[in-house]
Chains A and B, each alone.
Chain A
């Protein structure tokens, strides 16, 4: 499980050089709008736009495939459940249930939109150092306390990942095999308990270390953002495209015409 989202942040590209404050704001709006799209052609356009972002950021496809894999696995059942359960005219019947193309269309749109959003989110957070993105979030009025907690949580994921791997190896070394039975659940309960006890003891030491370094709850950072016209232009282009997407989706020709496609 690779946790370092920012391993391609050093690449020099249009997205990596984009001021993270503008990037997060613009692409967040884009994501929300994509989530709201209702028509298939525009969902496909959104996917195309997301892939363009990925290309611009020079992020390899396997990097995002980790996230995509889970989304697709999660959404595959939709391809069956939505058509079979859709109220209305059924085109044909399987397992005694009516199969409605409208339900199938909905499922396809959902999958395409989800993939587009995952890719866009990699384009946001895979193109800046994690801490820089977090400081940008603070500039976007995310509470300081929460930003600090995000930074600490991220840092200690790596520590506990290692700890869990060690515990896992130790358990396997003693011949433990996970099964869906009571013994497994008991062992997992103890496993999680051990992890929690260690994390709890660690927080006490970390808090002492933070106090020792003069911590008083503030988040200080030397990260300075400087925006230029290019940053604003990129934001402008993104916002215009986003507005076009939602405008066409709501009032455009697709919404009525599409109903007859299937």
Chain B
């Protein structure tokens, strides 16, 4: 039990009106693990999240956070450990200024003034809102409020971060920043989301919650690639994979003529790669609305990859056609080889 961040043992939860939302769920999440929690609407995801920091207590069963049972006596300590980032930032930003919102958690911990000011500064810097201390949250844009809500949780330094639909209503740039931040974070992360693309990019493990219990628990790659399984739970393949699948199908059946292939290949990549030592791997897509040959490396890749440690497989040809692909053959990411293999792929 000591070595788990979150341990849920046969937890039930029902509302006072008798409606049973969670029917005996169990799972165990290791420190530093990044887990996606997916499932249809009404599956009990929100209830599950509120059990994790004791905002609701299970009707029966036990929950341990870092070895500590979630019971009334421990609530204060539990809530320091588990930070929940809510879906609607307006629910979480209830203070008049950004500073007050970010300082709210540390103030309740009774930290000294200097420490609080330092933490607020750090948290705001982390989310890219330096100098926003005096701003009122109601004068910020939605993306900024979403980041501020994250900062208001980071400031009390929880080890476990739980996100409820972190990417909803976010513009692509803010979403991309969030994904990058999640990827490099060393905290235990639980992402509850319908955005399976973000789950695919960030998480290594995936839990499927449906009708009040965990129906699937496995590697994110396996579950999120399984179209039949996802559709069974009213979900669909991540967009990245759908596009990939569609292209594969079109190329295989020869429905796509040369012109189409040229156009698509000129602004779209789907390739597998691994991120440095983490061995993180997924399929992703780059969209370019500009000349690809010169800009790809500078613009897109500096955002999306670790430029030093990334190993990429650039056989686009096989990538387009074959669904499963041998990951072990990797090439260093080199501008020329990338361009060359890309052209190769489009000529096929």
Question: In the complex, which residues of chain B have a beta carbon less than 8 angstroms from the beta carbon of A154?
Answer: 96
Chain B residue with Cβ nearest A223 = B100
Question: In the complex, which residues of chain B have a beta carbon less than 8 angstroms from the beta carbon of A206?
Answer: 91-92, 94
Q: Which of B88, B95, B99 contacts A155 (CB 8 A)?
A: B95
Instruction: Check A212/B53 contact, CB under 8 A, given A220-B107, A222-B107.
Output: yes
Complex formed: what's the CA distance from A155 to B152 in Å?
Answer: 16
Could you say which of B84, B104, B109, B138 has the most chain A C-beta atoms within 10 Å of its C-beta? B138
Q: Which of A152, A212, A221 contacts B79 (CB 8 A)?
A: A212
Question: In the complex, which residues of chain A have a beta carbon less than 8 angstroms from the beta carbon of B156?
Answer: 213-214
A226 proximal to B (CB < 8 A) = no
Can you offer 24 A-B residue contacts whose CB atoms are under 8 A?
Answer: A129-B96, A129-B134, A131-B96, A134-B96, A151-B96, A154-B96, A159-B90, A206-B91, A208-B50, A208-B55, A208-B91, A209-B84, A209-B86, A209-B94, A211-B55, A212-B84, A213-B105, A213-B156, A214-B76, A214-B108, A215-B108, A220-B104, A220-B107, A222-B107
The reply to whether A155 and B94 form a contact with Cβ atoms under 8 Å apart is: yes
B136 proximal to A (CB < 8 A) = yes
Complex formed: what's the CA distance from A134 to B96 in Å?
Answer: 11
Chain A's nearest CB lies how many Å from the CB of B289?
32
Complex formed: what's the CA distance from A214 to B107 in Å?
Answer: 9
Complex formed: what's the CA distance from A156 to B105 in Å?
Answer: 19
Binding site for A on B (CB under 8 A): 50, 53, 55, 76, 79-80, 82-84, 86, 88, 90-97, 99-100, 103-105, 107-109, 113, 116-117, 134, 136-139, 152-153, 156
Question: In the complex, which residues of chain B have a beta carbon less than 8 angstroms from the beta carbon of A205?
Answer: 86, 88, 91
Question: In the complex, which residues of chain A have a beta carbon less than 8 angstroms from the beta carbon of B82?
Answer: 212
Complex formed: what's the CA distance from A154 to B117 in Å?
Answer: 24
Complex formed: what's the CA distance from A155 to B108 in Å?
Answer: 20
The digit string for A195-239, where 1 denotes a CB below 8 A from any CB of B, is 000000010011011111111101011100000000000000000
The reply to whether A151 and B90 form a contact with Cβ atoms under 8 Å apart is: no
Complex formed: what's the CA distance from A202 to B55 in Å?
Answer: 15
Chain B's nearest CB lies how many Å from the CB of A138?
14
Question: In the complex, which residues of chain B have a beta carbon less than 8 angstroms from the beta carbon of A155?
Answer: 93-96, 137-138
A28 proximal to B (CB < 8 A) = no
The reply to whether A212 and B83 form a contact with Cβ atoms under 8 Å apart is: yes
Chain A's nearest CB lies how many Å from the CB of B264?
38
Complex formed: what's the CA distance from A131 to B153 in Å?
Answer: 21
Instruction: Check A151/B95 contact, CB under 8 A, given A208-B55, A213-B156, A222-B117.
Output: yes
Chain B's nearest CB lies how many Å from the CB of A13?
18
Complex formed: what's the CA distance from A198 to B99 in Å?
Answer: 27
Question: In the complex, which residues of chain B have a beta carbon less than 8 angstroms from the beta carbon of A213?
Answer: 79, 104-105, 108, 152-153, 156
Could you say which of B53, B103, B136 has the most chain A C-beta atoms within 10 Å of its C-beta? B136
Q: Which of A131, A134, A152, A222 contacts B116 (CB 8 A)?
A: A222
Chain A's nearest CB lies how many Å from the CB of B46?
9
The reply to whether A209 and B92 form a contact with Cβ atoms under 8 Å apart is: yes
Complex formed: what's the CA distance from A210 to B79 in Å?
Answer: 11
The reply to whether B108 and A216 form a contact with Cβ atoms under 8 Å apart is: yes
Q: Which of B96, B109, B134, B136 contacts A214 (CB 8 A)?
A: B109
The reply to whether B97 and A131 form a contact with Cβ atoms under 8 Å apart is: yes
Chain A's nearest CB lies how many Å from the CB of B163?
13
Closest 5 CB pairs of A and B: A214-B108, A158-B138, A220-B107, A131-B96, A205-B91
Complex formed: what's the CA distance from A231 to B94 in Å?
Answer: 31
Question: In the complex, which residues of chain A have a beta carbon less than 8 angstroms from the beta carbon of B91?
Answer: 202, 205-206, 208-209
Instruction: Check A222/B83 contact, CB under 8 A, given A151-B95, A215-B108.
Output: no
The reply to whether B96 and A212 form a contact with Cβ atoms under 8 Å apart is: no
Question: In the complex, which residues of chain A have a beta carbon less than 8 angstroms from the beta carbon of B136?
Answer: 4
Chain B's nearest CB lies how many Å from the CB of A158?
4
Chain A residue with Cβ nearest B113 = A222
4 more A-B residue pairs beyond the given contacts A206-B91, A209-B94, A212-B83, with a C-beta to C-beta distance below 8 A: A155-B138, A206-B94, A221-B107, A222-B103
Chain A residue with Cβ nearest B92 = A209
Question: In the complex, which residues of chain A have a beta carbon less than 8 angstroms from the beta carbon of B99?
Answer: 222
Chain A's nearest CB lies how many Å from the CB of B151?
12
Chain A's nearest CB lies how many Å from the CB of B102?
10
Could you say which of A129, A209, A221 has the most chain B C-beta atoms within 10 Å of its C-beta? A209
Chain B's nearest CB lies how many Å from the CB of A134?
8
